[in-house]
Structure 1
Amino acid sequence: MPELETERLTLRGWREEDLEPLTAIYADPAVMRFIGDGSVRTSEETAAGFARMRREWEERGFGMFAVEVRETGELAGWAGLTVPGFLPEVLPAVEIGWRLGRPFWGRGIATEAARAALRFGFTEAGLDRIVSICHVDHHASARVMTKLGMRQDRLTVVPAHGQPVRVLAITRAEYEPAGLPSHDV
């Protein structure tokens, strides 16, 4: 699995010691408010998701990176690429997403990590189009999507739980001329 470095972050593979801080992130109602039906995850559900994130790299050649703050070594959360099977109407597609623990909100970490993951998707994974999906009221995630150069694709509803979501998208052709950094300092 590749490792990416940005000014403040390391996007890397998952380690067993990441499960405990990830469990705390998924157990926080504020973090999970706009995810799925808004429910927190049990430690068993988090462990199953953790295993899926690790397998996805082997199966697809892309997935979710663990996002580590370089200065402290703390796990901030994750960012990366996945297939959004929960929203069949957009398939085939690859989605960029992120989830951070509350102590890491409002510091530009989601944008920094997502930029690195987006660049990886277009340059290393060879993708031609990437979408991002968020609850219509999740304004912070929508701002990150806009900073990535993504544009509104559609408004829709997730079939499994009826939550309204916005789908934004960017193509490789739109990404390259956008003047997004080709590498981080």
Structure 2
Amino acid sequence: MTTMDTARLRLRKPEQEDFEVLYAIHADPRNNRYNPGWIRTTREDFQAFFDAVLAHHKQYGFGYYVLEDKEDSQVFGMSGLRFATVKDETCLNLYYRITPSKTRQGFVKEAARKIMDVVLDTTDHAYRVVVLTHEDNIPSRATAVSLGFTYHPELNDVGGQGNVYYFNDKG
């Protein structure tokens, strides 16, 4: 899957040419307010993350996608699913990160729904999807709930101080 479309978005596999704009989005302190341990302050650190994103696509045929606004063709973020392990369970981790000017407009929800529909069909619904966020990240938690995910407090702090987990139902 290299591209998908929604009403307002073009979702496509990232390419090296997307590095600069995605680095700027990920390095923006406003995008890391609730993710202080995740900040990729150097190009080298972000390049390692970006290389892993590209490798996941190559290995599995899906992963994180670049979000382009159809209205202006501008790249404004990334969202998608990659394999992750939570307490010995292989899951698909739902990720989203967009430029602050595009938040609270439903773009993440629109992208995530499309990506989940396609990837879950591709994987025969064999995996649960997990949203991992920080307990203080109320916007991300609200997005998870709006997408139909359920909070699992028994997993609080698994994998990191302040981490909380939301899962969809498999199938």
Give me the TM-score of the superposition, normalised by structure 1.
0.82
118, 123, 134: which one aligns with 2:116: 118
Q: Deviation string for 1:64-110 (max 9, x for gaps)?
A: 0111111111111111111235xx42632211111111121111111
Structure 2 CA distance, aligned partners of 1:6 and 1:37?
Answer: 32
Give, as a single letter, the amino acid of the residue that structure 1 aligns with 2:3. E
- Residue 68 of structure 2 corresponds to 68
Distance in 1 (alpha carbons) for counterparts of 2:18 and 2:43? 13
1:149 CA displacement? 0.9
Superposed displacement of residue 111, structure 1: 0.8
Q: Is the 8 A contact 2:26 2:39 kept in 1?
A: no
Specify every segment of 5 or more residues in structure 1 that has no aligned partner in the other structure, as ranges: 174-185
Give structure 1 regions of 4+ aligned residues with deviation exceeding 6 angstroms.
none
CA distance in 2 between partners of 1:121 and 1:165 (Å): 25
In structure 2, the residue matched to 1:137 is: 136
1:6-34 deviation digits (Å, cap 9, x = unpaired):
11101101123211111111211110222
- State the partner residue of 1:27: 27
C-alpha change, 1:33 and 1:50, in structure 2 (3 Å) is: same
Residue of 71, 96, 99 corresponding to 2:97: 99
**TM-score in terms of structure 2 length:** 0.89
Match for 1:50: what amino acid? F
What amino acid is the match of 1:62?
Answer: F
Q: Are the aligned partners of 2:26 and 2:97 in contact in 1 as well (CA < 8 Å)?
A: no
Q: Percent identity?
A: 27
Amino acid at match of 2:94: I
Query: Contact (CA 8 Å) 1:64, 1:79: kept in 2 or not?
Result: yes
Tell me: CA distance 1:84–1:172, structure 2 relative to 1, closer, same or farther (3 Å): closer
Q: Distance in 2 between matches of 1:14 and 1:165?
A: 27
Q: Secondary structure at the match of 1:127?
A: coil
Query: Conserved in 1, the CA contact under 8 Å of 2:68 and 2:74?
Result: yes
Alpha-carbon distance in structure 1 between the residues aligned to 2:157 and 2:65: 27
Q: Distance in 2 between matches of 1:153 and 1:42?
A: 33
Over aligned residue pairs, what C-alpha RMSD do you find?
A: 1.8
Could you give the per-residue CA deviations for residues 101-160 of structure 1, whole angstroms, max 9, x where no partner exists? Answer: 11211111111111111112221232332111111111111111111111112342154x
User: Does the 8 Å contact 2:32/2:38 carry over to 1?
Assistant: yes
Structure 2 unaligned regions, length at least 5: none
